[in-house]
Chains A and B, each alone.
Chain A
Amino acid sequence: MTAELVRGQNHPLSQSRLEIRISAGTPVAAAAALSDENGRIHGTEWVAHPGAPVQPGLEVSRQAAADHRLAVDLDAMTEAVHRVSVLLALPAPNGGAGPARFGAVAAPFVAVTGLDGTEVASYTITGLDLESAVVALELYRRQGAWKVRAVGQGYAGGLAELLADQGLSEAAQLAAGIDEAVARGLARSVQAPPPRTSEGDRSRQAAAPAVGHDQGSVPQGAPGSVPPAYGGQPSGGQGQGGPQPAYGAATDPHAASGGPVNYSHPGRQTSAPPPPPPAAPPARPGQPAQPVAGDATGWSMEERLYNQVWGMFEDLARTAAAYRSAVDFAESRMDKELEQALSDPRSRIGGQGDAAREAARARYSQLVDQARASLDRDVAQLVAESQVVEPALPPAFARWDNPCWHAYRVPMEIPMALRLGDLRLPEAEAIRIPMLLRLPLERGLWIDSGRTDSLDGTFTDSHDMRRLAMDTAVAHAARLLAVYPADEFTVHVVDPAGSGAQALAPLSQTGVLAGPPAQGAAGVTEVLARLIQRVDLVQMALRGGAPDALPPGFDTAQQLLIVNDFPHGFDDRAVNQLRYLVDEGPAVGVHLMMVADREESAGYGPLLDPLWRALLRLTPVPDDHLADPWVGHAWTYEPPTVPNGSEVLRQVLTKVAEARRTWNR
């Protein structure tokens, strides 16, 4: 028989071993405070909270969750304890990820049940608004027997105010400690499964008795020694390379106390609901909201950042379109008005015509100024967004000068996309949009070493251009090697005349290439034959419906072929083989990166046009040949540049080579 309590109502308890179930629409932290007959909490050790979850007769969860079960044994309470208050608090009300007040979430529901699950009393805490902490209910001694009372007293000042109100002198410190512990729990639970226990946590717990039974051991370590890692980058960006064994999978105490069985696959990211996106701090009235990295939809931080970058791309395209159409309109209107003023014979005498022309020009500049002002406003907003997004990008999306490359670790998973460079528009020089291309590649790349007149009018001679093109190709290839897990990306190089040897040094010296760059016509033939055989084998296996039937020792990695100095060293047969690779390769994981000047192969005539069309053209110098999908502006592409004198490329490739050696099965 369940008693549904209203605020202030009480109900006798016949059992002494109880469970208190809490369900809220959002993760909340649960705590329980013990107090004496005067309602005073004697000290911090009288509070069971996520940082110190076990007290005599009492155990609470170590992390914030939407559902809690608190175990209570009233017989185990010391004589001094006369009251047990059950407290709920929203995790980290300021700056945290979740809502900051109970008014914004569904009313929490609390039930007192016996060990067999029968409900004794229940209470829905309604009427909360600005409060971020609440005393849900209290169990209290009355003439030797225990009773439960629905309280529902909320505190806008959070746990600190709540605890202070109960007479605890160290209320503020304890509240801070609880927030810390909750944030730590959040960091563990929010990062997609398996929930990892950080190295630091583990070493500290080694001092505690029951390792392996995670929720039994209490991390008494100094709060704050582990920074909350929420919002960390996926694929090991936070310095925890790869998933660890399922140690610590029991961070959720429900698992041991008969809670619901978790059917989700521990290694599959999408089975867990996505962690909430980082909440933007509320905008001050009259000003645009502060931008936040990852402020877009997606299942992971990586996907959110990807979507956010594309959102910025679209916004900039459209903002520029608005500006351009306004300026075009202003120009055509001025032309029309000037023409009218000219064609009107009356205005030719006297100053009338001049005045009309003057007025037309003034109208023009007024409209253009307005358009410029709204463009500047939008661009400023995007610049602010870019400033928070760029530092948050994972290596695959980041510029080479991003510090995340210095903390690079070989990833365990293929990223969503790859940054090929930057895009910008002449109206908005202040902002660069990362150009992200989805992986796996769907078409080959062509680094154009031909065009020697760059946008800013500087002249690069063809020799320098070729070297630049090769450097760019190496940077792209190095990035591809780095963002794929070890042994899942193989690079072949065809350098018939050996002219790219210097540029290829970072690749060849670190030993990440499949073999030394192939030279001469014989080398070209040999490499092409190998890749074609691979394409045919995989195609046969796929068409035969037996993708497992590939020969043993078959390299299943994605293959990239870099071709320098095309068509040097290519005969007709090799050219046809190359075309075959371009057409058939991408579907079976064989990709082409041409470093070439189209003019040099002009002798083949239109035969090669489909080849060039099938490749995505990139340039080693800024060039405006790429269009966006919404409005079709010509965007200036800037190739990715490794900072001058930086060793980052070599360091990253060395790590890749190391990982290959150690992981080689």
Chain B
Amino acid sequence: MTKGQAISLQKNDGGSLTAVRMGLGWQAAPRRGLFGSRTREIDLDASAVLFADKQPVDVVFFRHLVSDDGSVRHTGDNLVGGVGQGGDDEAILVDLSRVPVHIDQIVFTVNSFTGQTFQEVQNAFCRLVDETNGQELARYTLAGGGAFTAQIMAKVHRVGSGWSMTALGNPANGRTFQDLMPAILPVL
């Protein structure tokens, strides 16, 4: 799918989508020379901001791993990245059927906590997966994507009784999701 394209998360057979996972993966920084421990680690962070009527009411990120209602869960902070073979190094799981009724939008963001721009990170990607069947709904290659340290990746929002997803892919700059708030608000 392309930027700005919206897809409904209703399945064809009428059952609606119940769980999505946002995955983030990147390759650890290569070791440099003699003092191997002095490599400059790369720490990317995935966050999900929950909005009710354009007001942020909850956020799931590495300091708050489970939303109060338990419907959005972060699998835990990864500070260094993986081997870059396509697996998710951080993931956020959303149980859409249990999201509180007043939450109408969930925005997923990626930011570089250690400050490297996506140009400097290898094999970085983020994707949104339908957890029920493992199908990828959206995928962005972050690496080489420009001199940005953050991306507003996608939002899932309520449509009728179900959920719909819009791919955004807006580049932004910031260390944590708080810095991205000004960039998030226009896309709600």
The verdict on B71 contacting chain A, using a C-beta distance below 8 Å, is yes
The verdict on B101 contacting chain A, using a C-beta distance below 8 Å, is yes
> B52 contacts which chain A residues (CB < 8 A)?
329
CB <8 Å contact, B98 and A378? yes
CB <8 Å contact, A329 and B57? yes
Interface residue SS majority, chain A: helix
Complex alpha-carbon distance, A375 and B100, angstroms: 9
Contact with A along B66-102 (1 / 0, CB 8 A): 1011110000000000000000000000000011111
CB <8 Å contact, A322 and B98? yes
CB <8 Å contact, A371 and B101? yes
The verdict on A367 contacting chain B, using a C-beta distance below 8 Å, is yes
> A367 contacts which chain B residues (CB < 8 A)?
101-102
Q: How far is the CB of A365 from chain B (nearest CB, A)?
A: 12
Q: How far is the CB of A340 from chain B (nearest CB, A)?
A: 14
CB <8 Å contact, B53 and A325? no
Q: How far is the CB of B67 from chain A (nearest CB, A)?
A: 8
Contact with A along B40-59 (1 / 0, CB 8 A): 00000000000011000110
Quick one: which of A350-387 are within 8 Å of B by CB? 367, 370-371, 374, 378
> A323 contacts which chain B residues (CB < 8 A)?
100
> A333 contacts which chain B residues (CB < 8 A)?
53
CB <8 Å contact, A321 and B68? yes
The verdict on A314 contacting chain B, using a C-beta distance below 8 Å, is yes
CB <8 Å contact, A371 and B68? no
CB <8 Å contact, A318 and B101? no
Selected contact of A630 from candidates B58, B66, B99, CB within 8 Å: B66
Contact with B along A432-457 (1 / 0, CB 8 A): 00000000000000000000000000
CB <8 Å contact, B100 and A371? yes
Q: Chain A interface residue count: which class? A: 20 to 34
CB <8 Å contact, B70 and A319? yes
Complex alpha-carbon distance, A318 and B69, angstroms: 4
CB <8 Å contact, A325 and B68? yes
Complex alpha-carbon distance, A330 and B53, angstroms: 10
CB <8 Å contact, A319 and B69? yes
Complex alpha-carbon distance, A271 and B129, angstroms: 39
CB <8 Å contact, B100 and A325? yes
Q: How far is the CB of B126 from chain A (nearest CB, A)?
A: 26
Complex alpha-carbon distance, A631 and B70, angstroms: 10
> A374 contacts which chain B residues (CB < 8 A)?
98, 100-101
CB <8 Å contact, B53 and A370? no
Complex alpha-carbon distance, A39 and B99, angstroms: 61
Complex alpha-carbon distance, A370 and B99, angstroms: 12
Quick one: which of A288-337 are within 8 Å of B by CB? 314-315, 317-319, 321-323, 325-326, 329-330, 333
> A322 contacts which chain B residues (CB < 8 A)?
68-71, 98-101
CB <8 Å contact, B69 and A371? no
Q: How far is the CB of A371 from chain B (nearest CB, A)?
A: 5
Q: How far is the CB of A376 from chain B (nearest CB, A)?
A: 12
Complex alpha-carbon distance, A318 and B65, angstroms: 14
Residue of A nearest to B69 (CB): A322
Complex alpha-carbon distance, A631 and B58, angstroms: 13
Complex alpha-carbon distance, A650 and B172, angstroms: 71
Complex alpha-carbon distance, A323 and B101, angstroms: 8
Q: How far is the CB of B182 from chain A (nearest CB, A)?
A: 22
By CB atoms of chain B within 10 A, which of A314, A325, A326, A367 has the most? A325
Complex alpha-carbon distance, A329 and B50, angstroms: 13
CB <8 Å contact, B102 and A371? yes
Residue of A nearest to B50 (CB): A325
Residue of A nearest to B13 (CB): A285
> A371 contacts which chain B residues (CB < 8 A)?
100-102
CB <8 Å contact, A321 and B102? no
Residue of B nearest to A366 (CB): B101
Complex alpha-carbon distance, A318 and B53, angstroms: 21
Given contacts A318-B69, A322-B98, A630-B66, 11 further A-B contacts (CB under 8 A): A317-B70, A319-B69, A322-B69, A322-B100, A325-B58, A325-B69, A325-B102, A329-B57, A367-B102, A370-B101, A374-B98
| 10 closest A-B pairs by CB | A318-B70, A322-B69, A322-B100, A370-B101, A326-B102, A329-B102, A321-B68, A326-B100, A371-B101, A321-B69
- Mind listing 7 A-B residue pairs with CB under 8 Å? A318-B66, A318-B69, A321-B69, A321-B70, A325-B58, A329-B53, A631-B68
